[in-house]
Structure 1
Amino acid sequence: MPDYPKVKYKEEGMREGMQIEDAQISIEDKVELLDMLSETGLQQIVVGSFVSPKWTPQMERIDEIVTKFKPKPGVTYTALALNSRGVERAKAYSPPLTIERDAFPRLNVHMCDVFVRRNTNRTQMQEMERWPQVIAQAQELNIKEAGVGTNASWGSNFMGEFPVDNLMTMLERQHSMWDEVGIAVRSASMGDPMSHCTPAKVEESVYRVKERWPEINHIRLHLHNGRNMAIASAYAAMRVLGPDDTLELDGTIGGFGGCPYCGNGRSTGMAPTEDLLHMMEDMGIPTGVDIDKLIDCVWTAERIMGRELYGHVSKAGPRPKSVESLYDINMPFVETTESAKHFKKGPGTYEGGIYPYSEPITSPYRDRVNAGGNAYDDANGDFPWKQDWFPAKG
């Protein structure tokens, strides 16, 4: 089994998710959902953003949410603030909020000049003009380690695909500026607001960063999921990195979320938290999160939104592994997503379904499992019964 990196996960549903939803969703519903998220075992939760209600009316009442929710000890709560005014507003609620500061002062730039104009009302050149200021501030504070980063890293809905060579050229320039002042680069960040990530591109990017600068041991990926590539791309990064590396990821329960500036709206989405963490647990990467409680959060969010969200584990359930969680082999047809919730709600969800079998199904394999054994005795496949026609082992 590969030695995977340490993974830090941040839940963004209350910000990335809510910022594209109906602004009339009640504060009570939002607080209920936030309190439920606090009980799942998630260690980092973004509660919203302190931004202008003119452009993001969904966040107009963020102050009420922060004062009404129940912080859980051990959970870090943060909020997005895009300027000094937003930071000052957030400071009024610290604690319970932690005023988020990047562990590394970072040079960052959007690869797409169109998107950055639409999203932040500035140009790519204006972003780069700030780099000397960031470096000077780091020097004044005697900072020893820093970061580099790009956004819209692999492509744009307005400009098309960006080869990884372009990304590396931009990171190379940023890295050289830190080198010039003797500050070591330990972190690289790659964002993807317009869902252009693919496993191949992310794998190549992370591999080339590590190959070019082995001392970089912290990778941050912000992956949107409009084309259903976010989880596969996160997995690709995990395969490249090792146990001495840290991979920072984020996503949203149910995969909801969106960006009004990229042209995809609610279709932008993010990796569904429950799906990504379910995969990580199966890979042997501990998350400390209760998937069952996450599913409750998704179902609550769906009730609040009035529609199904985009994740899968919340619909089909986690992989059944214990005897208690295995499905009844004589269950009737299960045809709807509502009846599929029997994994959590019980057999009443499919009661009255079509039952086409003339007699009950039996299985010697299942009998073994029910008795506490494995369906097969060993890796070679020793079957419950012997047949002359079955090829002999060895």
Structure 2
Amino acid sequence: MTARPVRSDLITGPVGFADLVIVEEGMREGLQIEDADIPVDSRVELLDKLSETGLKHIVVGSFVSPKWVPQMARIDEVVSSFSPRPGVTYSALALNQRGIERRESFSPPLSNDHYLPSTLVHACDVFVRRNTNRSQLDEILSWPAAVARAVDAGATAAQIGVNAAWGSNWLGEFSPETRMDFLALQVELWTTAGIPVTRVFLGDPMGWHIPLQVEQDLRAITERWPGITEFHLHLHNTRGSAPITIYNALRHLPQGKTLIVDTSIGGMAGCPYCGNGRAASLMPTEDLVYLLDESGYETGVDLDRLIEAVALAERIVGHSLYGHVSKAGGRPRGHRAYPLDLPFIETLDEAQHFRLGPSAYPHAYQRSNSEDKR
């Protein structure tokens, strides 16, 4: 029998909050929109750096065709070369049976424990054709075979999902009824097969979600299917609403439920198939960790090390990333309070004094001294 997986990556929430799983996507969502020629050694260095932060779930990349995603052409070498750390769940994306078989050949260090048999549909037929070279109808027609495989494997739980759930850059906004109808069709299929649905995936590659809409959807799903205990949100931050939506979801999911969120160091992410490129970022992992730590969660993540991983990622990709905490640090308490004689800080480079000390502002320091002398 395939039992429902026990999550080793769970972060228990404080009273009144849902539990949480952070899925770090920088190595996949991030690097898949960057230069395909980033060396394997640099990728491995970044993955090892992330492994040292205390993050409990890291996506190492994707086993997909290099024809469509050349940035993942050497994923086998990356997985063969990095240094796994105990207590960290490492996973990878696979979109078809061949990809799944490649992924399974690397288990361990990759873990398959958290996967559930699943069905999925994109609300936007245009996007799914561009992204996976399949149609919405192809996805729906694949459901019975997925359910049959799960039955044969003795599965005891399943996942349903809608991607491009809230809107499309080609087709416009999708209604709540559209999302619920797609989910209901999948629930009925799994229930008929005798397999309860315990997890729902809602994806938004084009950044159409609004916090209130997501809150209403989560409430409707919880009320209609109380057996669903895990809610996986993949929200691109294209229009800046992902941090608000994620925090709002944490506050409004009932205690005892689990929110799974995909984030990326520095917000590094993007989609070449949705028309927004690198503008389709994710919520920066370091910003979420900071918010959680200050809200009473015990994430177990070392924010300083996470910020250093962002700095390494920026050096590897050759440009600044999109987070906030990596630019200014966390709240400067105790021995980290800024010195009283701190000079005027104007640039982003100078603001790095929170991690680099006075070496971050040599010119600002000189200006301050010269003004004192006058």
After TM superposition, the structure 1 = structure 2 runs for residues 170-185 of structure 1, keeping only pairs within 5 Å, are 170-185=182-197
After TM superposition, the structure 1 = structure 2 runs for residues 96-135 of structure 1, keeping only pairs within 5 Å, are 96-99=109-112, 102-103=115-116, 105-135=117-147
Q: For the residues of structure 2 that align with 1:37 and 1:211, how far apart are their CA atoms?
A: 37
Q: For the residues of structure 2 that align with 1:356 and 1:241, how far apart are their CA atoms?
A: 54
Q: For the residues of structure 1 that align with 2:139 and 2:252, how far apart are their CA atoms?
A: 30
Q: For the residues of structure 2 that align with 1:187 and 1:313, how far apart are their CA atoms?
A: 31
Among 26, 31, 41, the residue aligned to 2:54: 41
Q: For the residues of structure 2 that align with 1:336 and 1:241, how far apart are their CA atoms?
A: 40
Counterpart secondary structure, 1:346: helix
Among 1, 25, 28, the residue aligned to 1:15: 28
Instruction: Give the letter for the 2:44 counterpart.
Output: V
Among 84, 101, 107, the residue aligned to 1:71: 84
1:226 match: 238
Deviation string, structure 1 residues 23-77 (Cα, Å, up to 9, x no partner):
1111111111111111000111111111111111111111211122111122121
1:291 match: 303
The alignment of Structure 1 onto Structure 2 pairs a total of residues equal to 357
After TM superposition, the structure 1 = structure 2 runs for residues 351-370 of structure 1, keeping only pairs within 5 Å, are 351-353=362-364, 354-355=367-368
Deviation string, structure 1 residues 323-345 (Cα, Å, up to 9, x no partner):
21111233221000010011111
Contact kept, 8 Å, 1:50 with 1:81, in 2: the verdict is yes
Contact kept, 8 Å, 1:195 with 1:227, in 2: the verdict is yes
1:272 match: 284
Contact kept, 8 Å, 1:219 with 1:248, in 2: the verdict is yes
Contact kept, 8 Å, 1:15 with 1:46, in 2: the verdict is yes
CA change 1:307–1:174 in 2 (3 A) is same
After TM superposition, the structure 1 = structure 2 runs for residues 197-236 of structure 1, keeping only pairs within 5 Å, are 197-236=209-248
Q: Report deviation, 1:310.
A: 0.4
Q: For the residues of structure 1 that align with 2:39 and 2:302, how far apart are their CA atoms?
A: 26
2:250 match: 238
Q: For the residues of structure 2 that align with 1:197 and 1:148, how far apart are their CA atoms?
A: 19
Deviation string, structure 1 residues 217-256 (Cα, Å, up to 9, x no partner):
1111111111111111111110111331111111110111
Contact kept, 8 Å, 1:2 with 1:239, in 2: the verdict is no
Single out whichever of 189-198 and 128-137 deviates more from structure 2: 128-137
Deviation string, structure 1 residues 143-186 (Cα, Å, up to 9, x no partner):
33222210001111111111222211221222222333333222
Q: For the residues of structure 1 that align with 2:355 and 2:167, how far apart are their CA atoms?
A: 40
After TM superposition, the structure 1 = structure 2 runs for residues 254-265 of structure 1, keeping only pairs within 5 Å, are 254-265=266-277
Instruction: Give the letter for the 2:108 counterpart.
Output: P
Q: For the residues of structure 1 that align with 2:172 and 2:146, how far apart are their CA atoms?
A: 30
Instruction: Give the letter for the 2:280 counterpart.
Output: T
Instruction: Give the letter for the 1:278 counterpart.
Output: Y
Deviation string, structure 1 residues 100-119 (Cα, Å, up to 9, x no partner):
6623x222110101111111
Counterpart secondary structure, 2:186: helix
State yes or no: 1:335 paired with 2:342.
no
Q: For the residues of structure 2 that align with 1:186 and 1:160, how far apart are their CA atoms?
A: 30
Deviation string, structure 1 residues 183-203 (Cα, Å, up to 9, x no partner):
322221101111112211211
Instruction: Give the letter for the 1:70 counterpart.
Output: S
1:392 match: none
Name segments (4+ residues, structure 1) moved above 3 Å.
354-359
Q: For the residues of structure 2 that align with 1:97 and 1:224, how far apart are their CA atoms?
A: 25
State yes or no: 1:344 paired with 2:355.
yes
Counterpart secondary structure, 2:54: coil
1:160 match: 172
Larger radius of gyration: 1
Contact kept, 8 Å, 1:13 with 1:257, in 2: the verdict is yes
Q: For the residues of structure 2 that align with 1:91 and 1:208, how far apart are their CA atoms?
A: 36
Instruction: Give the letter for the 1:242 counterpart.
Output: P
Instruction: Give the letter for the 1:187 counterpart.
Output: R
Q: For the residues of structure 1 that align with 2:58 and 2:47, how far apart are their CA atoms?
A: 9
**What TM-score does the superposition give when structure 1 sets the normalisation length?**
0.86
1:253 match: 265
2:334 match: 323
Instruction: Give the letter for the 1:78 counterpart.
Output: S
Q: Report deviation, 1:89.
A: 2.1
2:38 match: 25
Contact kept, 8 Å, 1:9 with 1:249, in 2: the verdict is yes
Counterpart secondary structure, 1:107: coil
Q: For the residues of structure 2 that align with 1:256 and 1:48, how far apart are their CA atoms?
A: 13
Instruction: Give the letter for the 1:63 counterpart.
Output: D
Q: For the residues of structure 2 that align with 1:181 and 1:53, how far apart are their CA atoms?
A: 36
For structure 1, the residue ranges without an aligned partner over 5 or more in a row are 360-394
CA RMSD of aligned residues (A): 1.9
Single out whichever of 53-62 and 346-355 deviates more from structure 2: 346-355
State yes or no: 1:84 paired with 2:104.
no
For structure 2, the residue ranges without an aligned partner over 5 or more in a row are 1-13
